[in-house]
Amino acid sequence: MQSDNPMLRRAEFVPTSQPMTINGAVNKSVILTLVAAIVAIALYAYSISLMQQGMANPSGLGMIVGAVGGLVLILIMTFKPKTSAALSLPYAVLQGLFLGGVSASYESRYPGVPASALLATFVTTITLFGLYRAGIIRATEKFKSIVISATIAIALIFVVQIVMQLAFKSTIPGLFAQTGILAIGFAAFVAVIASLNLILDFDLIEKCAEMGAPKYMEWFCATALLATLVWMYISFLRLLGTLRN
């Protein structure tokens, strides 16, 4: 069966005796989020404790390991969804390392910003879920095309930024500055697009359940949702940090 969801456009699911359910995907999303949160809090607390003692801390290592490892696993799951059942929990652990490291780094520079970013992520998630369930915001074809196009554009900008930093030790003028209207505007735009990707995740879960997708797709959908939540949190961190400057 074919779907109009961009992530499932080429997917064909055969009938199965144990299809995925919305509740199953939600439960697994909660599990992955809790795992990531526990790991993040543990690394954050440990890193902050060492910082207060003036000692070297593992926040930087956590960021690198979490970011690189998480990227590798999410790419594998994207091209081979069947691996989601085995790789989702390790992915959540790696995301927890990444979040804990980033949060500790921001806390050392901008005290209180991680807590504010976490609150913003929680409130935004609940609000968008309520609007989606009420039918006020729907994942129409036009909505999907706009959000996906903007997401791809943001990804390309970050790729260019990384290349410029590694090759030329420079940055894209204005967009990644520590302060300034352009930097604040870009950070806000990224936070909005990251948040709107939640609607695509909600739609993905519904469409997979409607299509009778295999049980492992519950883990795939849960992983996609966790990835969006992590992106949202990091986006709010950048925005609030830029505003603090």
The domain segmentation of the chain, as residue ranges, is: 17-244
Mean pLDDT of 111-129: 94
What's the confidence (pLDDT) of residue 15? Answer: 53
pLDDT of residue 175: 73
Provide the pLDDT confidence category of residue 16 given band limits of 50, 70 and 90.
low
Can you give the pLDDT at residue 45?
93
Q: Is residue 161 classed exposed, middle or buried when 0-12, 13-18 and 19+ CB atoms within 10 A define those classes?
A: middle
CA 30 to chain centroid: 14
pTM recorded for the entire structure: 0.88
Is 70 exceeded by the pLDDT of residue 14? no
Q: What is the mean pLDDT of residues 198-212?
A: 90
pLDDT at residue 17, rounded to an integer: 64
Q: How many CA atoms lie within 13 A of 192 on its CB side?
A: 9
